[in-house]
A and B are shown apart, each in its own frame.
Chain A
């Protein structure tokens, strides 16, 4: 069965002055897929995401999210996507529940619908006990989990996560990865996430893209990258790190 393409980028380019932050990027992601976007600092991962969200305009090229152009139809895109920025902020003097309710209201979800969803989400991200505390007192990990809850409150079709595991302890990281995985498996959400932590990307991604200095140097399932990048046959062992380092040295 052919799956629907939800994210499509063609020859996408973003210039900052003379610098090419993203250089003719072509890529598509199918529905329900977990796409891991890998790259060193300054590779252009965040910039790509901003263009997908319509938060910055591409210099050239096309972007489509569920068939809509984020620059021309921003509201249609924003209705169906959830975005976790790389350094998510909250209204510090409100508690978790109030922050979530505000986001729900901005999405035109009535309070009586959101109340039940909020309770369920707080359980899911393990914040139910701290839900009444002001967010100002939250630790980094709690903030990150609250950020995920805010993304999910509107039940999006496509989720963009910019370095979702940054600042989490090993246990928190594993639970975050499990949650991301289940979003795709159980709720058929499409996940586009960025990271520079190789083993995490390896663990949960259906497909992986490696971006270096604005260029997408490789994209595909892990096994395929290994075959093409390292010239390995099926059955031989490899790690994503070897593949990544190879591309990194080439670039």
Chain B
């Protein structure tokens, strides 16, 4: 137990004095606050003298301003925080030749990995919680609404999902730092996986769907519909491999209880789309949680798989100081 605590403390000190981490954290906080305050200001104008809609406070996080919404932004750049915290966790000690000293102290080897992971998760939690608190403070000032109990609960669940999501990337980065001896290689590998899973899975899914079941313009209505549905299903299945898409779906379900589906693929007029894709009344909190639960479970599961591989590789590995 003392081992894990000691390493945890040292890692925390390292993170707080690490320029790299401070830069990415500052960047994320800055852009996040800018996005949310832009949304807040435009809401301030639009809501002037109008009855406030339900869950107006959560719109701060979900509305797409000029570029993208806050939750989309975290889905996109959040993984960078995890990767930067973890990509050199183990191989930094290896190349600094401190690893053979560390593993010859009376601590279990998994304590090293666990302590580094926990320190990273703590940093992620600090960044995310302070970000949401800052934005909430801004929101109260800009739109003059105080969040209700349910809104606060939804924000808490959003935070849990976000911390898990970024921690998954932390776990993956730590895995690469165990597998690859060079920090440059593990950084590149983490980035490659991040880009691959975040962007190309969606694109690839689209290509795959169009190849297998192209959308045809035929006279036969039934045939066209079934091709269309199949195409959409393939794209959906492919997106299950993209943590970013899953995260986007899960968080928008939690923070935007009025929406029926996270994505609307049916082409129609704006008003029509609005009425079709949104509920009359908000989805109860319990129902939203039920919808995102599978996402949470699968995130935890893949993080655990990363850990399993880490342990399997690291526990019996020969450690030389050359």
Interface residues of A, Cβ cutoff 8 Å to B: 46, 50, 53, 55-57, 74-75, 78-79, 81, 83, 85-93, 102-103, 105-108, 150
Contact = CB atoms under 8 A, between A and B. Distances in A.
B316 A106 contact: no
Interface in B282-322: 316, 318-322
B96 interface: yes
Contacts of B7: 106
Interface residues of B, number: 24
Given A86-B321, A106-B2, A91 B106 contact: no
B198 to A, nearest CB: 33
Contact of A79 (B96, B98, B106, B320): B106
B319 A87 contact: no
A106 B4 CA distance: 9
For chain B, what secondary structure do more than half of its interface residues adopt (helix, strand, loop), or is it mixed?
loop
B107 A106 contact: yes
Given A55-B104, A86-B321, A106 B97 contact: no
B10 interface: yes
A128 to B, nearest CB: 22
B216 to A, nearest CB: 58
B96 A92 contact: yes
B101 interface: yes
Contacts of B98: 89-91
A22 to B, nearest CB: 13
Contact of B320 (A46, A81, A102, A150): A46
A78 B102 CA distance: 11
Contact of B101 (A57, A79, A81, A88): A88
21 contacts: A56-B318, A75-B108, A81-B104, A83-B104, A85-B320, A85-B321, A86-B322, A87-B97, A89-B96, A90-B96, A90-B98, A102-B6, A102-B10, A105-B6, A106-B2, A106-B102, A106-B106, A107-B106, A108-B2, A108-B106, A150-B101
A53 B3 CA distance: 18
A160 to B, nearest CB: 9
B321 A89 contact: yes
Contact of A91 (B6, B96, B105, B107): B96
B322 A106 contact: no
B100 interface: yes
Interface string B250-283: 0000000000000000000000000000000000
A107 B103 CA distance: 12
A71 B108 CA distance: 12
Nearest to B17: A93
B6 to A, nearest CB: 4
Interface in B156-207: none
Contact of A89 (B2, B97, B107, B316): B97
A57 B315 CA distance: 11
B318 A55 contact: yes
Contacts of A106: 2-3, 6-7, 102, 105-107
A93 B98 CA distance: 13
Nearest to A106: B105
B106 A103 contact: no
Given A83-B100, A88-B101, A108-B2, 11 more contacts: A50-B319, A55-B104, A55-B320, A57-B316, A75-B107, A79-B106, A85-B97, A85-B100, A85-B101, A88-B97, A106-B105
Nearest to B318: A56
Contacts of B107: 75, 78, 106
A56 B316 CA distance: 7
A88 B2 contact: no
A148 to B, nearest CB: 12
Contacts of A85: 97, 100-101, 104, 320-321
Contacts of A46: 320
